[in-house]
Structure 1
Amino acid sequence: MPGPGSGTVRNRRLATELRRLRERAELTGDDVADRLGWSASKVSRIENARQAPRLGDVRSLLDLYGVEGSYRDQLLQLARDAGRKGWWEAYSDALPEQYASYIGLEMEAEEILQWETQVVPGLLQTEAYASAVEQGLHSIEVIPPSRLDARVETRLARQSVLTTREPPLRLSLVLDEATLVRRYGDAGVMREQLERLVELAGSPNVTLQVLPLDGPHPITTGSFTLLQFPQVGGIKFHDVIYIEHQNGCSYLEEETETYRHRLSFDRLSAEALPPAESVELISRIARDAWGSQNGGG
């Protein structure tokens, strides 16, 4: 069973705070590097969360910025936690670095708002469906079979945030109806996946809605995930937007962008079927499109 998340979010929080403190002190990255005898690239790596800084380095920065008292203690605790490894690092050879970073964010999020147009999200996938999705990726990416297996295992392990973590992740999901009729694997795989969606829709921490194909489509943007985080060590971390694309993924963290996506999600949720009607639609498609009469598909 997966253990706690890594220090991914804490490292990003720490990086954000250290950058803000430098700017408040009216220092450039080069100024900090000169005063501490570091390279400018080291300052940049710390402030952009590309490396978890050593505790001594954080103390030096806080001394330079004149930070004392409880706020200093909070930042030092973040630094201690930032180097913590996550369970998924055991699969590091099989996972793209950006995907591993996303898992770290997902493990520490308290709520996720997600709009999906292509595929059932990993947090809700069955093993057979996840395998079919990865097999599809195999056709455009050279992945050894052992790595395919590791990626599927990782997808399933991620689901612990919904089922066994305390408190569990709150997930609000709007699915485009097209995801329910786009086949991955055979009809049996699809039927099982849709039945899983119906089951999980009954969880108190999951809100599942479907945007029907014959209804209004309020936005033109593709799939996105908005992650929200709890306050840790007295420091609040801003929302993060995660967007997957053909060549990897992108993160949006500027407040205007995250707020725009929140408004987009609210519009989608308002136009989507209510949860009870969404479950009825999913059950009907599972029966009519993917029922046993379709055989192996």
Structure 2
Amino acid sequence: MSDVRPTVRRRRLAAALVKLRDEAGKTPEEAAQRIGCHRTKISRIENARLGISLGELRDLLTFYGVDDQAYVDDMVAMARRGREPGWVQRASLARPSYSDFIGYEETADYIRSFQNVLVAGLLQTPDYARAVLQARPSTLSKDEVETLVTARIARQEVLNRADPPRVCVIEGEAALRVQVGGVKVMSQQLDRLLAMAERPNIELQILPDRAGAHAGLMGSFVLFSFPVSTYSDVVCVEHRTGTLYMETPAETEDYTLIFDSLRSIALSPADSLDMIARVRQELYH
């Protein structure tokens, strides 16, 4: 059964199958013959326009010489989940690019985020998220705002998994000082940052204003890395009407260099916590 719009998981599975087939030196015709189908079915699977049964997937992986059982299990799990609509799509929450973003967030094992002005979505409190959404110039109904707040908080469940991703966040000092939602909301948000930074898988750094000109002046971005070697890194740059995704090595390497540059001039994690605590105290003076 085909989908009008393939999920992120299905696209990544399709890309992996193409790469594995090429590395094995097999043609699409040979792959089709292996699982007893027409050449066009292989094309549709590799273009992410058609799902693949778990039996067919295992057969193709064997045909391509994949003998790493952990890798096979990962591919099978992705195929199984890829056939189900994501919770974002079921709720009809937002534009397709948002569904893609959540798909990357759910499957990444390393997330690097630079945020110049706003607190990263994975670290936001509900009230902070609500204030950000209500500040949009476009009109959202109260129900639409609450649906999006629920989605943003649901995204944070990836941090509560038994195997949460490693998360490195660099926040511009402005993200601490812009009083989104007012003093009370911002105070609670800063408390949240302090608490989340205590988790072993989360590293939080603050880029102080005194750092001057830096590589992140062009804007915020998120860089995703994945546990499967055949999946390229993905850079996400959000703009007013959607999100731009970049996956070529040149693009992802450039943003990796930018992130590393920002880490080198940001405060240490310990000094960053001290700054957050100071800014929180200043809110009441």
Normalised to the residue count of structure 1, the TM-score between the two structures is 0.77
Rounded to whole Å, the distance in 2 between the matches of 1:8 and 1:129 is: 29
Residue aligning to 1:113:
112
Rounded to whole Å, the distance in 2 between the matches of 1:123 and 1:187 is: 21
**Unpaired runs of 5+ in structure 2?**
1-5
Give the number of equivalent residue pairs.
Answer: 269
Normalised to the residue count of structure 2, the TM-score between the two structures is 0.80
Residue aligning to 1:195:
191
202 and 217 in structure 1: CA distance in 2 versus 1, 3 angstrom threshold: farther
Residue 130 of structure 1 deviates from its aligned partner by: 0.6
Residue aligning to 2:103:
104
Rounded to whole Å, the distance in 2 between the matches of 1:169 and 1:9 is: 18
Q: Given the alignment, which residue of 271, 274, 282 partners 1:277?
A: 271
Rounded to whole Å, the distance in 1 between the matches of 2:232 and 2:274 is: 36
Residue aligning to 1:84:
84
Other structure's SS at 1:214 match: helix
Residue 78 of structure 1 deviates from its aligned partner by: 4.6
169 and 103 in structure 1: CA distance in 2 versus 1, 3 angstrom threshold: same
Matched ranges for 1:40-59 at <5 A: 43=43, 46-49=45-48, 51=49, 53-55=51-53
Q: Contact (CA 8 Å) 2:93, 2:151: kept in 1 or not? A: no
Partner amino acid for 1:168? P
Matched ranges for 1:22-61 at <5 A: 36=38, 38=40, 43=43, 46-49=45-48, 51=49, 53-55=51-53
Partner amino acid for 2:82? A
RMSD: 3.3
76 and 210 in structure 1: CA distance in 2 versus 1, 3 angstrom threshold: closer
**Unpaired runs of 5+ in structure 1?**
1-6
Other structure's SS at 2:210 match: coil
Residue 84 of structure 1 deviates from its aligned partner by: 3.3
Partner amino acid for 1:230? P
Residue 223 of structure 1 deviates from its aligned partner by: 0.6
Rounded to whole Å, the distance in 2 between the matches of 1:209 and 1:71 is: 37
Other structure's SS at 2:200 match: coil
Rounded to whole Å, the distance in 2 between the matches of 1:8 and 1:282 is: 38
Identity %: 33
How far does the alpha carbon of each residue in 1:263-293 deviate from its partner, in whole angstroms, 9 at most, with x for none?
11111001001111111111111221x22x5
Matched ranges for 1:1-297 at <5 A: 10-20=9-19, 36=38, 38=40, 43=43, 46-49=45-48, 51=49, 53-55=51-53, 67=64, 70=67, 74=72, 78-91=78-91, 93-137=92-136, 139-140=137-138, 142-162=139-159, 164-219=160-215, 220-231=217-228, 236-288=230-282, 290-291=283-284, 293=285
Q: Contact (CA 8 Å) 2:223, 2:255: kept in 1 or not? A: yes
Greater Cα shift, 74-83 or 246-255: 74-83
Rounded to whole Å, the distance in 2 between the matches of 1:192 and 1:78 is: 37
Other structure's SS at 1:241 match: strand
